[in-house]
Every structure is written in C-alpha cells, then in structure tokens.
Amino acid sequence: MFWRVRRSMRMHWVRLMTTCLVLSVVMVWWDNGMMNHVKSFSYRLLVNRFGDINRSLTITREQARSFSNFRNLLDHPNKCDDQDVLLLLFVKSSPVNTARREAIRSTWGNETFILDSLGVTVKVVFALGAPSGPNGTDAILQMRLFREDRHHGDLIQQDFRDSFHNLTLKLIMQFHWMHRCCAHARFFMTADDDVFIHMPNLVAYLQGLRDQGVSDFWVGRVHRGAPPKRSQDSKYYVPPDMYQWISYPDYTPGGGYVLSGDVADKIYHATLTLNASLHIDDVFMGICAKAVGVSPQEHLYFAGEGKAPYHLCIYNQMITSHGHVEDLQDLWKAATHPKVKERTSGLLGKLYCTAMKIFLLCRYHLNGYPCLAAFH
C-alpha cells in the first residue's frame, strides 16, 4: 500500500514537472510572437491606460511645429475650391513610383470617370516627400516630378526626405493640407500606391453615410491590442525609448482607411500638440484618434496587408485590396465589368456568391478579407 502511494506521488511529480517544462518551452518559443499579442491584448482590456500615452507624448505647439514646418515643393491650394467634394483621397507615393501613379490615374483614381459615371466629386492627390539619391539623381528625379505635376496637377510634396521612417511626416502633411485647402470635403481617405480601390463601391458606401449625416466616423481594417515590434530585425521595430508601452491603441493599417471630415479636423488639431517621432504612421494615427476620443470601426471589405481573391463575388462588395501594381489595369476592368452586378444579383446569385465566398475566404487564412465577410 505504502509503495503504491509513493509510486502515485512520484508519477504526480513527474507529470507536474513535465507540464512545467512544456509550458516553459512554449513560453520561450512564443515569447516574440503569440505571447506578446496575449500580453498586449490583456493590457488593452484590463489596464488600457492610453491616457498615460497621450500625456507622455504631449508637447508644446512650438515643438510640434518641427514635424510639419516643411517647405512646399509642389502644391495646389485651389484644388477643391467652389466644389462639393465627397472625398479627398490622398495616395502615399514614392517619388520614383511614376508608373504606379499613372496606373491609378487611368483606373480607380480617374477624377473625370468618377464625376461622369458616378456623379460625385472625388479629389485624388499624391503625397510625396523629397527624393534623395547619389550622384545628383535626386535633382534629376525632382525635375521629372515638376514635369509630371505640370501635366497632371495632382502632386503634393514637401521637402522632408521621402523614406519609410518619415511616413508619419507624410501623414501629418495630408491632414494639414486638408485643413488648409479642402476642409469642406465630406470624407478623407489615405491609401498606399499599391492599393486597389473599388471606386464605385466606395462612392456608393460614402453616399449612404453622407445621407445619414454620419460624424465621428473612422473605418477600415482594425488592429486591436497590437504589440510594438521589439526585434531589431523587423522593419517595424520600435525601441522602448520611443514607445514604452506593450500595446498600441486600436488603429487601421495605413494601406487604406476613411474618416469623416469632422474626424480629419480633430486629427489635425491633435497633431499640433503630439510628439510625432514614432515613424509607424498608422499607429500614430491611432494615438491621435485616442487623444480626441475617436475609435475605428471594422469594415470587412477593407483589406489587410494581403490581396483579395480574384472573383466576381468578391468584386461585388470589395472596397480595397492591397498589393496591386502590375495587375491594376486588369483588376479594374474585371472588378467594374457590368457582368459582376448581373451575375451576383437575385436569389440565385446571392446563394452562389455566399458559397463561393465561403470557399474563397474560409478554407484558409488570408490577410485580405476575413471569413466573416463571406456571410455579409
């Protein structure tokens, strides 16, 4: 009997030690991944002291001016004058991405098509910093930008260096330009130059919101409880002395999101007193929004970092899709073809599309649209 008790206790301790060992290994293995997300999300739900973040980042207006006081190289202050602008759409572009800008102008960013076919005024402008390169290539590229702008009249450029680490400066430039030149626009949108925007769907969506008199509105693909990247190998690395907390405020990825005009004005005023050293522009947007009491709303057809599937049942509801360069022209033709509405309407069309979207979105994880989008 005594021997059985000792054996039982020994087995109990073996199981306990094995469990502890396994958990330790799992904790170490997940330390830079899943566990960071768990800690971050717990912080967001249980602690959520984002007021401390805003207080720590608050600076004087004089100090904040250093993030916006740049010389205009290209500007169009009268772009929105005397027009009922439904949407001001800023496309973040690199000076070298001439072909991308041309593709956008001939597809979803064609202002003439939008006015003639959709009956609304959308202003599409490109946000750029100053080019830099060896052996005078920056001067040559800048001359090309001057010529491009003389032809199209849609480049907004300031003289900070155009780089990944200056994206927050580019974001601030957009809000300041809207405040100065297009404050009456009903909505504001910022997007990357490799994003496809289904303009007919977006316009119909925004018209519905405008008719409802929507305000305090910010919509996109929402990241909740995201932790800062602490690995120096990451493109998105943020050191603790730049941002010391373990969770970011909720934000929408910078690939594409929409604000109502009143929110854009609030964000502009937030930038006047916040330290913009954090170079992750979409996170800085989240910090500004938290400071003015605005929270993002999820829209299932604003894409994450991935592409949406190529299918007419997806085109019928898509708003944005990320990662399109060479295929932009073909996607525009396919997504706006009249057959899309014809084949996806009616009871049979809706049943067919529900089945296809379940197959396309739910069989494996895509960082385009979530599985839940299949049922909407």
Give the model's confidence band at 53: pLDDT under 50 very low, under 70 low, under 90 confident, else very high. Answer: confident
In angstroms, rounded to a whole number, what is the distance separating the alpha carbons of residues 328 and 375?
A: 27
How much is the pLDDT for 306? 82
- Kind plus residue range of the DSSP H or E element containing 265: helix 261-271
Task: Please report how the helices 98-105 and 137-152 are oriented relative to each other, as an axis angle in degrees rounded to 10.
Answer: 10
How much is the pLDDT for 23? 42
Whether the pLDDT of residue 172 is over 90: the answer is yes
Mean predicted confidence (pLDDT) in 45-71: 83
Whether the pLDDT of residue 60 is over 80: the answer is yes
Give the model's confidence band at 54: pLDDT under 50 very low, under 70 low, under 90 confident, else very high. Answer: confident
How much is the pLDDT for 302? 95
Mean pLDDT of the chain: 88
Short-list 317, 344, 219, 257, CA closest to 309: 317
Query: How do beta strands 85-92 and 187-192 pair?
Result: parallel
**Where do we find the tokens 């800008």?**
101
Whether the pLDDT of residue 26 is over 50: the answer is no
Whether the pLDDT of residue 248 is over 70: the answer is yes
Report H helices in 30-135: 34-42, 50-57, 61-64, 98-105, 111-113
Task: Express each pLDDT in 272-321 by its tens digit.
Answer: 999 999 999 999 999 999 999 999 999 999 998 888 999 999 999 999 99
Short-list 218, 157, 156, 212, CA closest to 188: 218
**Where do we find the tokens 């927050």?**
168
How much is the pLDDT for 255? 85
Structure tokens at 41: 């999300």
Mean predicted confidence (pLDDT) in 183-195: 97
Instruction: Could you list the beta-strand ranges (E) of 228-287.
Output: 256-260
How much is the pLDDT for 20? 46
pTM: 0.86
How much is the pLDDT for 8? 54
Query: How do beta strands 195-197 and 121-130 pair?
Result: unpaired
In angstroms, rounded to a whole number, what is the distance separating the alpha carbons of residues 312 and 258?
A: 24
Q: How are strands ordered across the β-sheet holding 297-298?
A: 72-74, 155-161, 121-130, 85-92, 187-192, 256-260, 218-220, 297-298
How many C-beta atoms surround the C-beta of residue 89 within 10 A? Answer: 27
Q: Which residues pair with 251 in a beta bridge?
A: 223
Task: Express each pLDDT in 72-106 by its tens digit.
Answer: 999 999 999 999 999 999 999 999 999 999 999 99
How much is the pLDDT for 47? 46
